[in-house]
Structure 1
């Protein structure tokens, strides 16, 4: 029995499964793509004396493991901010998790929070890049401004801003949900980590927005 209710989306003749776990499975590349995991954030806050449940990041690792077992990807792409801060005890959990998937190619496109020495990632057989072109897609961390998109090679996949879509109900209820936002030249992924916020983004009428609910992903007209 599968754990995901995937929504299929075709982009540039590539099949993307948008998952309620805030990840994308790219069928042609057999690649799982996630952004803004922020491992180590719990340890960072606890180190500062702020009470945060210890199991939050273990839950994120378990979710990632479930997706790997279900989809059997050949590669796992992190679009930046994999580890939130400098080294802390949460790195040990991540090291243990990595040891469970020794044959999986893991690639990190570095983000602004990825400040741990490269050698630590290399010891775990994790590839590091500032940007990476795979097929028609250019993997980044930060979104690019509109004025530079037309001169960029490849359709961009990125994260960083933890996008959300604001939905309004009949009785003035309002909720901001994580979302996948596909523009003409750039897609912004929701943050994978549960211990992160979300910001309602401005979108163009031509954008395709997919809201992430608890157990499914739905297109917003």
Structure 2
């Protein structure tokens, strides 16, 4: 059961909730949006002989299920890198998870790691797009350059870079936390998967940065 608090954020007249589970809920569309789940990455490493706890990805699916039960979305959007690299046994867990939500519309915006055959997704009734405009928002995987943003058909939601924000404290302590980064024309979502890293991003003065803690999302001034 989810006991953490969401942080409300209004953008272009749309009501968004930034969730400490590193997901975003869009009220008007009843849509749950996540980026960079990288499901199958554990199986990919284990297949290569690298010891990684198997329950890490099942925990990601459990978190996603909790969010679906809590917010009851009509659609779930993955902003790329849903399944990490080649097919492996983790796909069977994903098939089982999908069977629990047969009426949920699932949309995948292809990412650079989404390389398995389209038929695997289509067999699970998952829509595939390279990009998708929904209302005022353009769903992508890769962030756009400044030049690309000038020609974009909407405000961009994307992932790919696993953004983080570095915070410093007394005694020279520092920590890098996952974050949501909202610029004037583009928002970069944190990576949803637990088995992913994060990279501190260089933000502009006009950006709104929201750091993700265990049970809340904080505005960084």
Q: TM-score range by the shorter chain?
A: over 0.9
Q: Deviations over 1:81-110 (max 9, x none)?
A: 000011100000000000000000000000
Q: How does 1:64-213 map to 2 (within 5 A)?
A: 64-213=64-213
- The whole-number CA distance in structure 2 between the counterparts of 1:4 and 1:34 is 17
The number of residues matched between the two structures is 221
- Contact persistence 2:2–2:66 (CA under 8 A): no
- The whole-number CA distance in structure 2 between the counterparts of 1:178 and 1:125 is 31
Q: How does 1:53-64 map to 2 (within 5 A)?
A: 53-64=53-64
Equivalent in the alignment of 2:15: 15
TM norm structure 2? 0.99
- The whole-number CA distance in structure 2 between the counterparts of 1:75 and 1:4 is 22
List runs of 5+ in structure 2 lacking aligned partners: none
> Secondary structure of 2:151's partner?
coil
List runs of 5+ in structure 1 lacking aligned partners: none
- The whole-number CA distance in structure 2 between the counterparts of 1:145 and 1:168 is 29
- Contact persistence 2:106–2:125 (CA under 8 A): yes
Q: Deviations over 1:164-201 (max 9, x none)?
A: 00000011000000000000000000000000000000
Q: Following TM superposition, by how much is the alpha carbon of 1:2 offset from its aligned partner in structure 2, in angstroms?
A: 4.5
- The whole-number CA distance in structure 2 between the counterparts of 1:4 and 1:179 is 16
- Contact persistence 1:3–1:70 (CA under 8 A): no
Q: Deviations over 1:130-181 (max 9, x none)?
A: 0000000000000001122122110000000000000000110000000000
- The whole-number CA distance in structure 2 between the counterparts of 1:148 and 1:106 is 27
TM norm structure 1? 0.99
Q: Report the aligned-residue RMSD.
A: 0.7
